[in-house]
Amino acid sequence: MQERIQEILNEAKEKIAQAATPEDVEQLRVGFLGKKGKITDIFKMMGKLDKEEKKTIGPAANKVKNEVDALINEKMAELKEKAKQARFKMESIDVTEPGKGYKVGVKHPLTITMEEVSRIFMSMGYSIAEGPQVETVFNVFDGLNSPPNHPSRDLTDTFYITEDTVLRPHTSSVQVRTLKTKKPPIKVISPGRCFRCDTPDATHSPMFHQIEGLVVDEGITMADLKGTLDSMAKQLFGSNTRTKFRPHHFPFTEPSAEMDVSCFVCGGKGCRVCGGNGWIEILGCGMVHPNVLEVGDIDTEKYTGFAFGMGVERIAMLKYGVSDIRLFYENDKRFIEQFK
Protein backbone atom coordinates (compact mmCIF):
# COMPACT_ATOMS: atom_id res chain seq x y z
CA MET A 1 0.00 0.00 0.00
CA GLN A 2 2.79 2.32 0.99
CA GLU A 3 4.41 1.61 -2.37
CA ARG A 4 1.20 2.28 -4.24
CA ILE A 5 0.95 5.67 -2.56
CA GLN A 6 4.51 6.50 -3.53
CA GLU A 7 3.78 5.43 -7.10
CA ILE A 8 0.76 7.70 -7.27
CA LEU A 9 2.79 10.59 -5.95
CA ASN A 10 5.51 10.05 -8.55
CA GLU A 11 3.00 9.75 -11.34
CA ALA A 12 1.24 12.90 -10.19
CA LYS A 13 4.49 14.85 -9.97
CA GLU A 14 5.49 13.80 -13.47
CA LYS A 15 2.15 14.56 -15.07
CA ILE A 16 1.74 17.88 -13.33
CA ALA A 17 5.18 18.91 -14.51
CA GLN A 18 4.19 18.09 -18.09
CA ALA A 19 0.82 19.86 -18.05
CA ALA A 20 0.77 22.67 -20.58
CA THR A 21 -2.64 24.30 -20.08
CA PRO A 22 -5.01 25.02 -17.19
CA GLU A 23 -7.35 22.46 -18.75
CA ASP A 24 -4.68 19.76 -18.52
CA VAL A 25 -4.19 20.56 -14.84
CA GLU A 26 -7.91 20.45 -14.18
CA GLN A 27 -8.04 16.99 -15.71
CA LEU A 28 -5.22 15.86 -13.41
CA ARG A 29 -7.08 17.21 -10.41
CA VAL A 30 -10.09 15.11 -11.35
CA GLY A 31 -7.90 12.09 -12.08
CA PHE A 32 -6.11 12.19 -8.70
CA LEU A 33 -8.32 14.02 -6.25
CA GLY A 34 -11.80 13.79 -7.84
CA LYS A 35 -14.57 11.44 -6.66
CA LYS A 36 -13.07 8.57 -8.60
CA GLY A 37 -9.51 9.87 -8.40
CA LYS A 38 -6.54 7.64 -7.65
CA ILE A 39 -5.84 9.25 -4.27
CA THR A 40 -9.51 9.20 -3.34
CA ASP A 41 -9.50 5.48 -4.09
CA ILE A 42 -6.79 4.97 -1.47
CA PHE A 43 -9.02 6.60 1.15
CA LYS A 44 -11.91 4.40 0.04
CA MET A 45 -9.77 1.35 0.64
CA MET A 46 -8.82 2.41 4.18
CA GLY A 47 -11.85 0.75 5.70
CA LYS A 48 -10.49 -2.62 4.71
CA LEU A 49 -7.18 -2.14 6.49
CA ASP A 50 -6.38 -3.24 10.00
CA LYS A 51 -5.72 -0.76 12.78
CA GLU A 52 -1.92 -0.81 12.55
CA GLU A 53 -1.90 -0.27 8.83
CA LYS A 54 -4.41 2.56 9.14
CA LYS A 55 -2.05 4.34 11.47
CA THR A 56 0.73 4.51 8.90
CA ILE A 57 -1.25 4.55 5.63
CA GLY A 58 -3.70 7.21 6.86
CA PRO A 59 -1.14 9.98 7.45
CA ALA A 60 0.88 8.89 4.38
CA ALA A 61 -2.19 9.14 2.14
CA ASN A 62 -3.09 12.50 3.66
CA LYS A 63 0.39 13.81 3.09
CA VAL A 64 0.35 12.76 -0.56
CA LYS A 65 -3.10 14.21 -1.01
CA ASN A 66 -1.96 17.56 0.38
CA GLU A 67 1.21 17.49 -1.64
CA VAL A 68 -0.56 16.74 -4.92
CA ASP A 69 -3.20 19.34 -4.13
CA ALA A 70 -0.47 21.93 -3.52
CA LEU A 71 1.39 20.97 -6.70
CA ILE A 72 -1.79 21.22 -8.73
CA ASN A 73 -2.68 24.63 -7.30
CA GLU A 74 0.82 25.88 -7.90
CA LYS A 75 0.87 24.63 -11.48
CA MET A 76 -2.58 26.04 -12.13
CA ALA A 77 -1.54 29.47 -10.90
CA GLU A 78 1.61 29.34 -12.96
CA LEU A 79 -0.20 28.41 -16.19
CA LYS A 80 -2.92 31.02 -15.63
CA GLU A 81 -0.31 33.69 -15.12
CA LYS A 82 1.47 32.57 -18.27
CA ALA A 83 -1.80 32.79 -20.26
CA LYS A 84 -2.47 36.24 -18.85
CA GLN A 85 0.98 37.48 -19.80
CA ALA A 86 0.56 36.07 -23.30
CA ARG A 87 -2.77 37.90 -23.65
CA PHE A 88 -1.26 41.15 -22.36
CA LYS A 89 1.50 40.86 -24.88
CA MET A 90 -0.96 40.23 -27.70
CA GLU A 91 -3.33 43.00 -26.72
CA SER A 92 -0.81 45.61 -25.79
CA ILE A 93 -0.38 48.67 -27.99
CA ASP A 94 3.04 50.05 -28.71
CA VAL A 95 2.35 53.76 -28.69
CA THR A 96 5.86 54.48 -29.92
CA GLU A 97 5.36 52.50 -33.13
CA PRO A 98 5.12 54.74 -36.22
CA GLY A 99 1.51 55.13 -37.47
CA LYS A 100 0.20 53.58 -40.65
CA GLY A 101 0.81 55.92 -43.56
CA TYR A 102 -2.27 57.00 -45.51
CA LYS A 103 -2.39 58.39 -49.00
CA VAL A 104 -3.88 61.77 -49.73
CA GLY A 105 -5.66 61.96 -53.06
CA VAL A 106 -5.12 64.68 -55.63
CA LYS A 107 -7.52 66.86 -57.57
CA HIS A 108 -8.36 65.75 -61.07
CA PRO A 109 -6.79 67.98 -63.76
CA LEU A 110 -10.30 68.86 -65.03
CA THR A 111 -11.33 69.92 -61.52
CA ILE A 112 -8.16 72.00 -61.23
CA THR A 113 -8.93 73.68 -64.56
CA MET A 114 -12.58 74.37 -63.67
CA GLU A 115 -11.57 75.79 -60.32
CA GLU A 116 -8.94 77.99 -61.90
CA VAL A 117 -11.35 79.42 -64.47
CA SER A 118 -14.05 79.80 -61.82
CA ARG A 119 -11.64 81.68 -59.59
CA ILE A 120 -10.79 84.12 -62.38
CA PHE A 121 -14.47 84.90 -62.97
CA MET A 122 -15.31 85.05 -59.28
CA SER A 123 -12.61 87.70 -58.90
CA MET A 124 -14.53 89.67 -61.54
CA GLY A 125 -17.73 89.45 -59.49
CA TYR A 126 -19.40 86.44 -61.09
CA SER A 127 -21.32 83.90 -59.06
CA ILE A 128 -21.72 80.22 -59.87
CA ALA A 129 -24.99 78.85 -61.22
CA GLU A 130 -25.73 75.17 -61.56
CA GLY A 131 -28.01 73.13 -63.76
CA PRO A 132 -28.82 69.43 -64.11
CA GLN A 133 -27.18 67.11 -66.61
CA VAL A 134 -30.57 65.68 -67.55
CA GLU A 135 -32.39 68.61 -69.17
CA THR A 136 -35.56 69.49 -70.99
CA VAL A 137 -35.45 69.91 -74.76
CA PHE A 138 -36.83 73.40 -74.14
CA ASN A 139 -33.86 74.44 -71.97
CA VAL A 140 -31.23 73.08 -74.36
CA PHE A 141 -32.84 74.02 -77.70
CA ASP A 142 -36.15 75.94 -77.92
CA GLY A 143 -35.40 78.39 -75.12
CA LEU A 144 -32.07 79.06 -76.82
CA ASN A 145 -33.72 80.12 -80.08
CA SER A 146 -32.70 76.92 -81.88
CA PRO A 147 -34.90 76.31 -84.92
CA PRO A 148 -36.86 73.02 -85.01
CA ASN A 149 -34.60 71.72 -87.78
CA HIS A 150 -31.28 72.54 -86.12
CA PRO A 151 -28.82 69.69 -86.75
CA SER A 152 -27.76 69.33 -83.11
CA ARG A 153 -31.33 68.25 -82.28
CA ASP A 154 -30.75 65.04 -84.23
CA LEU A 155 -30.86 61.75 -82.39
CA THR A 156 -27.43 61.15 -83.87
CA ASP A 157 -26.03 64.23 -82.09
CA THR A 158 -27.83 64.43 -78.76
CA PHE A 159 -28.69 61.66 -76.28
CA TYR A 160 -32.47 61.58 -75.83
CA ILE A 161 -33.99 60.07 -72.71
CA THR A 162 -37.57 60.80 -73.76
CA GLU A 163 -38.96 62.93 -76.57
CA ASP A 164 -38.54 66.06 -74.45
CA THR A 165 -35.71 65.09 -72.08
CA VAL A 166 -32.05 64.86 -73.03
CA LEU A 167 -28.57 64.64 -71.57
CA ARG A 168 -27.59 68.28 -72.08
CA PRO A 169 -25.27 68.73 -75.07
CA HIS A 170 -23.97 72.04 -73.69
CA THR A 171 -24.12 74.10 -70.51
CA SER A 172 -26.06 76.85 -72.33
CA SER A 173 -29.22 75.37 -70.77
CA VAL A 174 -28.12 77.14 -67.58
CA GLN A 175 -28.57 80.45 -69.45
CA VAL A 176 -32.28 79.64 -69.85
CA ARG A 177 -32.61 78.51 -66.23
CA THR A 178 -30.87 81.65 -64.99
CA LEU A 179 -32.93 84.00 -67.16
CA LYS A 180 -36.15 82.35 -65.92
CA THR A 181 -35.23 82.75 -62.26
CA LYS A 182 -33.07 85.88 -61.96
CA LYS A 183 -33.52 89.54 -62.78
CA PRO A 184 -30.69 91.69 -64.23
CA PRO A 185 -28.03 92.52 -63.39
CA ILE A 186 -26.98 88.91 -64.05
CA LYS A 187 -23.36 87.78 -63.90
CA VAL A 188 -22.92 84.01 -63.64
CA ILE A 189 -20.71 81.21 -64.78
CA SER A 190 -21.69 77.56 -64.79
CA PRO A 191 -19.16 74.75 -64.98
CA GLY A 192 -20.59 71.33 -65.65
CA ARG A 193 -20.78 68.06 -67.52
CA CYS A 194 -22.21 67.68 -71.02
CA PHE A 195 -22.92 64.79 -73.38
CA ARG A 196 -22.93 64.32 -77.13
CA CYS A 197 -23.16 61.26 -79.38
CA ASP A 198 -19.51 61.29 -80.35
CA THR A 199 -17.31 58.27 -80.93
CA PRO A 200 -14.34 58.58 -78.58
CA ASP A 201 -11.01 59.47 -80.19
CA ALA A 202 -8.03 61.59 -79.19
CA THR A 203 -10.08 64.81 -79.18
CA HIS A 204 -13.70 63.62 -78.74
CA SER A 205 -15.56 62.09 -75.85
CA PRO A 206 -19.31 61.48 -75.47
CA MET A 207 -18.98 63.03 -72.00
CA PHE A 208 -17.06 66.25 -71.47
CA HIS A 209 -17.16 69.52 -69.52
CA GLN A 210 -17.96 73.12 -70.33
CA ILE A 211 -17.96 76.41 -68.52
CA GLU A 212 -20.81 78.69 -69.50
CA GLY A 213 -20.89 82.40 -68.83
CA LEU A 214 -23.81 84.85 -68.92
CA VAL A 215 -23.94 88.57 -68.29
CA VAL A 216 -27.11 90.66 -68.63
CA ASP A 217 -27.35 94.31 -67.64
CA GLU A 218 -28.07 97.76 -69.00
CA GLY A 219 -25.61 98.90 -71.65
CA ILE A 220 -23.66 95.66 -72.06
CA THR A 221 -21.84 95.65 -75.42
CA MET A 222 -19.47 93.54 -77.44
CA ALA A 223 -16.66 95.59 -75.88
CA ASP A 224 -17.55 94.15 -72.45
CA LEU A 225 -17.49 90.66 -73.91
CA LYS A 226 -14.10 91.16 -75.53
CA GLY A 227 -12.57 92.87 -72.50
CA THR A 228 -13.80 90.19 -70.13
CA LEU A 229 -12.65 87.24 -72.21
CA ASP A 230 -9.33 88.88 -73.07
CA SER A 231 -8.65 89.42 -69.38
CA MET A 232 -9.62 85.84 -68.61
CA ALA A 233 -7.26 84.52 -71.34
CA LYS A 234 -4.34 86.56 -69.98
CA GLN A 235 -4.92 85.27 -66.45
CA LEU A 236 -5.31 81.68 -67.62
CA PHE A 237 -2.52 81.44 -70.21
CA GLY A 238 -0.14 84.27 -69.27
CA SER A 239 -0.08 88.05 -69.57
CA ASN A 240 1.45 88.05 -73.07
CA THR A 241 -1.55 86.20 -74.48
CA ARG A 242 -3.43 87.96 -77.28
CA THR A 243 -7.00 87.19 -78.32
CA LYS A 244 -8.79 87.24 -81.66
CA PHE A 245 -12.52 87.04 -82.37
CA ARG A 246 -13.71 85.33 -85.56
CA PRO A 247 -17.33 85.62 -86.75
CA HIS A 248 -19.32 82.44 -86.18
CA HIS A 249 -22.93 81.34 -85.79
CA PHE A 250 -24.90 80.20 -82.75
CA PRO A 251 -28.71 80.39 -82.69
CA PHE A 252 -28.69 81.95 -79.20
CA THR A 253 -26.22 84.78 -79.81
CA GLU A 254 -26.16 87.60 -82.37
CA PRO A 255 -23.55 88.50 -83.37
CA SER A 256 -21.64 85.31 -82.56
CA ALA A 257 -17.92 84.65 -82.52
CA GLU A 258 -15.26 82.15 -81.70
CA MET A 259 -12.32 83.35 -79.67
CA ASP A 260 -8.76 82.27 -80.40
CA VAL A 261 -5.82 82.85 -78.10
CA SER A 262 -2.26 83.35 -79.32
CA CYS A 263 -0.37 80.12 -78.83
CA PHE A 264 1.15 80.18 -75.36
CA VAL A 265 3.77 77.64 -76.39
CA CYS A 266 5.30 79.43 -79.41
CA GLY A 267 3.86 82.88 -78.73
CA GLY A 268 2.21 82.97 -82.15
CA LYS A 269 5.07 81.84 -84.40
CA GLY A 270 3.51 78.49 -85.13
CA CYS A 271 4.29 75.14 -83.51
CA ARG A 272 2.93 71.64 -82.97
CA VAL A 273 0.50 72.70 -80.23
CA CYS A 274 -1.23 75.40 -82.34
CA GLY A 275 -1.00 73.37 -85.52
CA GLY A 276 1.42 75.84 -87.06
CA ASN A 277 -0.82 78.89 -87.34
CA GLY A 278 -0.04 80.57 -84.02
CA TRP A 279 -3.67 80.67 -82.77
CA ILE A 280 -5.74 78.27 -80.70
CA GLU A 281 -9.55 78.31 -80.60
CA ILE A 282 -10.87 78.01 -77.06
CA LEU A 283 -14.49 79.16 -76.89
CA GLY A 284 -17.73 80.24 -78.53
CA CYS A 285 -19.41 83.50 -77.54
CA GLY A 286 -21.69 86.32 -78.61
CA MET A 287 -24.29 88.89 -77.63
CA VAL A 288 -27.36 87.17 -76.17
CA HIS A 289 -30.12 86.97 -78.79
CA PRO A 290 -33.20 89.03 -77.84
CA ASN A 291 -35.39 85.92 -78.29
CA VAL A 292 -33.42 84.26 -75.49
CA LEU A 293 -33.77 87.28 -73.17
CA GLU A 294 -37.52 87.20 -73.79
CA VAL A 295 -37.70 83.65 -72.37
CA GLY A 296 -36.88 85.33 -69.05
CA ASP A 297 -39.34 88.20 -69.69
CA ILE A 298 -36.44 90.61 -69.79
CA ASP A 299 -37.03 94.01 -71.42
CA THR A 300 -34.84 93.80 -74.53
CA GLU A 301 -35.05 97.55 -75.08
CA LYS A 302 -33.44 98.16 -71.71
CA TYR A 303 -31.11 95.17 -71.27
CA THR A 304 -28.47 93.49 -73.36
CA GLY A 305 -26.04 90.73 -72.52
CA PHE A 306 -23.24 88.48 -73.62
CA ALA A 307 -22.62 84.78 -73.22
CA PHE A 308 -19.78 82.36 -73.79
CA GLY A 309 -19.06 78.68 -73.50
CA MET A 310 -15.70 76.96 -73.34
CA GLY A 311 -14.56 73.36 -73.35
CA VAL A 312 -12.75 72.44 -70.14
CA GLU A 313 -10.98 69.41 -71.60
CA ARG A 314 -9.60 71.47 -74.46
CA ILE A 315 -8.20 74.08 -72.09
CA ALA A 316 -6.71 71.44 -69.79
CA MET A 317 -5.16 69.59 -72.75
CA LEU A 318 -3.56 72.80 -74.00
CA LYS A 319 -2.41 73.97 -70.60
CA TYR A 320 -0.95 70.64 -69.51
CA GLY A 321 0.12 69.30 -72.89
CA VAL A 322 -2.20 66.29 -72.80
CA SER A 323 -2.44 64.68 -76.23
CA ASP A 324 -5.43 62.36 -75.76
CA ILE A 325 -8.73 63.40 -74.13
CA ARG A 326 -9.41 59.80 -73.05
CA LEU A 327 -6.57 59.97 -70.52
CA PHE A 328 -8.81 62.19 -68.37
CA TYR A 329 -11.36 59.43 -67.87
CA GLU A 330 -9.18 56.34 -67.39
CA ASN A 331 -8.57 57.06 -63.71
CA ASP A 332 -4.97 55.98 -63.99
CA LYS A 333 -3.38 57.40 -60.85
CA ARG A 334 -0.02 57.74 -62.58
CA PHE A 335 -1.64 60.21 -64.98
CA ILE A 336 -3.80 62.08 -62.51
CA GLU A 337 -1.06 62.52 -59.91
CA GLN A 338 1.08 64.52 -62.31
CA PHE A 339 -1.11 67.58 -61.86
CA LYS A 340 -1.02 68.08 -58.12
Binding site for ligand PHE (CB under 6 A): 170, 172, 250, 253, 284-286, 307-309
Residues 123-126: contacts with CB under 8 Å, at least 24 apart: 124/228, 124/231, 125/187, 126/187, 126/188, 126/189, 126/213
Our CB check for ligand PHE shows the closer of 131 and 284 to be: 284
Q: Shortest gap between Cβ of 247 and ligand PHE (angstroms)?
A: 12
Cα pseudo-dihedral 264, 313, 111, 214, rounded to 10: 90
Our CB check for ligand PHE shows the closer of 172 and 262 to be: 172
Q: How far apart are CA 205 and CA 330, in angstroms?
A: 12
Q: Shortest gap between Cβ of 253 and ligand PHE (angstroms)?
A: 5
Our CB check for ligand PHE shows the closer of 186 and 307 to be: 307
Q: Shortest gap between Cβ of 318 and ligand PHE (angstroms)?
A: 17
Which residue from 169, 118, 161, 96 is spatially nearest to 139, judged by alpha carbons?
Answer: 169
Q: Shortest gap between Cβ of 327 and ligand PHE (angstroms)?
A: 22
Our CB check for ligand PHE shows the closer of 37 and 296 to be: 296
Separate counts of helices (H) and strands (E) for the chain = 11, 10
Our CB check for ligand PHE shows the closer of 40 and 231 to be: 231
3-class SS string, 231-294: HHHHHHHCCCCCEEEEEEEECCEEEEEEEEEECCCCCCCCCCCCCCCCEEEEEEEEEECHHHHH
Q: Which residue is nearest to ligand PHE (CB)?
A: 309
Q: Shortest gap between Cβ of 208 and ligand PHE (angstroms)?
A: 10
